[in-house]
Amino acid sequence: MRAKQKKRRLFFLDKIFLWLSIGFGLALLVCYLAPVTDPRTFWPVAFFGLGYLPLLLVNFCLLLYWLIRRSRYILVPLLCIGLGWNILRDNVGLRTKKHQNTGSNAIKVMTYNAHNFKPYGQQVNDPVTKKRMLQLISAQNPDIIGIDEFYTRRRGEYAIKDSMKKLMHSDECYVEPFSFNTDHEAMGMAIFSKFPVVNKGIIMLSTEPNSSNQCIFVDVKKGDKTFRYYNVHLQSIRFDPIDYEYLSRVSKKGKPDVSSSRRIGSKLKRAFIKRSEQVVKIKAHAAQCPYPYIIAGDFNDTPASYAVAQMTKGLKNTFREKGVGFARTYNGSFPNFQIDYILVNSSFDVADYYTLRKKLSDHYPVCSTLLLK
C-alpha cells in the first residue's frame, strides 16, 4: 500500500515538473529570438534576452531532476538548452585558462567604465577609490585603454588626464568631454595610447544634452602598421535610485508594484530601441575603416541581445575566443552580467581575455591581449 502511495506521489510530482520543463523550455526558446529581433520592430522579445541566464539555470536544474529520475523527459530541457548552443558560448567560456604565446605584434587592450572615478553607488568624489583605480590600470600596463564615464579637472588631485599620461608614459590620448561642471570639471570619454595617435574622431550616437552615450575613435601607429580603436558607450538604461530600491525590494520580498514595473519597463524599452539605432551608426562607420580595428566599451546589454549580436556580427568576441566560466563585467545590481566587450576584426588573433573583479567602479575592467597579424 505504501509503495503504491509513493508511486502516485512521484507520478504527480513528475507531472508538475513536466509542465515546468515545457514552460521554462519555451521561455528559453523565446530568448533565442532576442539577438535576431530588432526592438524597433518588435520590442517585447528583448526582455527575454535579459532573462537568458536565469532561464538557463532553471532549465539546467530541471535537466538534473530528470537525470536523477532517469526519465525520457530529460530530452525537453536538454533540447531547449542545446538549441541555444551559440548563445551559450557567448555567455559561458567552456574551456580551461590558457595563454597563447605572444611576440612583438602583441597589443594589450583594456576597457573600463570608471563611473567618473567614484565608488559604485556614490555621487561624491573619493580620493582613495580614485587612487586605487589608477593603481589597477597601472598594474595591468595596457598599450591602449578606453575609459567610459571619464572625469578630470584641469589641475589638482583630480587632474586625471595628466595622471593617466604619466601612468601610460605617453602623451598620446584623445579626451572628449560631453559635460562640464564647476571648478573646471569635465566628464566624457577618453582613449589613452602608448602608440602615436595619427587620427581621431567622434560618432555622435545621442543628441541628448550632456549625454556620454557616444563613440570616439583613434587611429594609432604601431611600427609600420596602423589600427583603429573605437571606444563605445551605448545607451544607458538610466535607472534612478528609486528604481534600484524597487528592484532590490522585489528581489528580497517578491512584491512587485504595477506602476514601478511599468516605469522600469518603459526605460528598458527605450534603451533597447536606442541601442539598436546606435549600433547601425557604428557598424556603418567601421565598414569604411581602411585599417584593422577594435570595438570596445560599455554596450549596456547582454550577449543575448540584438544590439550585441549586431555589433559582434563579422567580428571576433574576445570573451568567446578566450574567456573562461561565466562572464560578468557589471558590479551593480542590474543587469549584473556581461555588458562590457572587446571585439576585433579578422586582422587580429586573440591571445587572452580576463576581467578584474575589483569592486571600485560599477563595472569591472576588461582586458585582452591581441596579436596584430
| pLDDT computed for residue 36 by the predictor | 96
- Contact, 57 vs 337, CB < 8 A? no
Do 35 and 139 have their domain in common? Answer: no
| pLDDT computed for residue 123 by the predictor | 72
Q: Which of 147, 151, 348, 354 minimizes the C-alpha distance to 231?
A: 147
Pairing of strands 325-326, 92-93: antiparallel
| pLDDT computed for residue 207 by the predictor | 87
| pLDDT computed for residue 368 by the predictor | 96
Is 92 within a domain? no
Helix (H, G, I), strand (E, B) or coil at 227: strand
Spans of the chain below 50 pLDDT: none
Is 101 within a domain? no
DSSP state of 16: H
Do 115 and 226 have their domain in common? Answer: yes
Is 97 within a domain? no
Is 89 within a domain? no
| Tally of CB atoms within 10 A around 44 | 13
| pLDDT computed for residue 1 by the predictor | 52
Q: Which of 27, 49, 83 is the endpoint of a domain?
A: 83
CATH code, domain with 156: 3.60.10.10
Neighbouring residues of 285: CB distance < 8 A, sequence distance ≥ 6: 203, 215, 217
Do 60 and 111 have their domain in common? Answer: no
Do 335 and 277 have their domain in common? Answer: yes
Q: 3-state SS of the chain: helix, strand, coil percent to 5?
A: 40, 25, 35
User: Domain span at residue 207?
Assistant: 107-372
Do 271 and 319 have their domain in common? Answer: yes
Q: Which of 110, 98, 75, 96 minimizes the C-alpha distance to 363?
A: 110
Do 35 and 113 have their domain in common? Answer: no
Instruction: Please count the structural domains in the chain.
Output: 2
Neighbouring residues of 216: CB distance < 8 A, sequence distance ≥ 6: 174, 176, 189, 190, 191, 200, 201, 202, 203, 230, 231
Q: Is the CA virtual torsion 278, 279, 283, 289 positive or negative? A: positive
Do 184 and 316 have their domain in common? Answer: yes
- Contact, 353 vs 110, CB < 8 A? no
Q: Model pTM?
A: 0.91
DSSP state of 34: G
Q: Could you write out the DSSP letters of every residue in 53-88?
A: HHHHHHHHHHHHHHHHHT-GGGHHHHHHHHTTHHHH
Do 134 and 22 have their domain in common? Answer: no
Q: Which of 67, 83, 99 is the endpoint of a domain?
A: 83
Residue 140 CA from chain centroid, whole number:
20
Do 163 and 60 have their domain in common? Answer: no
Do 18 and 79 have their domain in common? Answer: yes
| pLDDT computed for residue 264 by the predictor | 87
Q: Could you write out the DSSP letters of every residue in 107-173?
A: EEEEEEE-GGG--TT--S--HHHHHHHHHHHHHH--SEEEEEEEEEESSSTT-HHHHHHHHHT---E
Is 94 within a domain? no
| pLDDT computed for residue 182 by the predictor | 63
Is 249 within a domain? yes
Do 61 and 146 have their domain in common? Answer: no
| pLDDT computed for residue 270 by the predictor | 94
Q: Which of 49, 83, 117 is the endpoint of a domain?
A: 83
Placement of cell 587572452 in the chain = 352
Do 45 and 124 have their domain in common? Answer: no
Tell me the C-alpha distance between 202 and 190, whole Å.
11
Is 275 within a domain? yes
Q: Which of 329, 328, 314, 339 minimizes the C-alpha distance to 363?
A: 329
Tell me the C-alpha distance between 130 and 327, whole Å.
25
Is 136 within a domain? yes
Burial of 96 (0-12, 13-18, 19+ CB in 10 A): exposed
Task: Give phi and psi for 149, each to the nearest 5.
Answer: 50, 55
Tell me the C-alpha distance between 49 and 32, whole Å.
7
Polymer length of the chain: 373
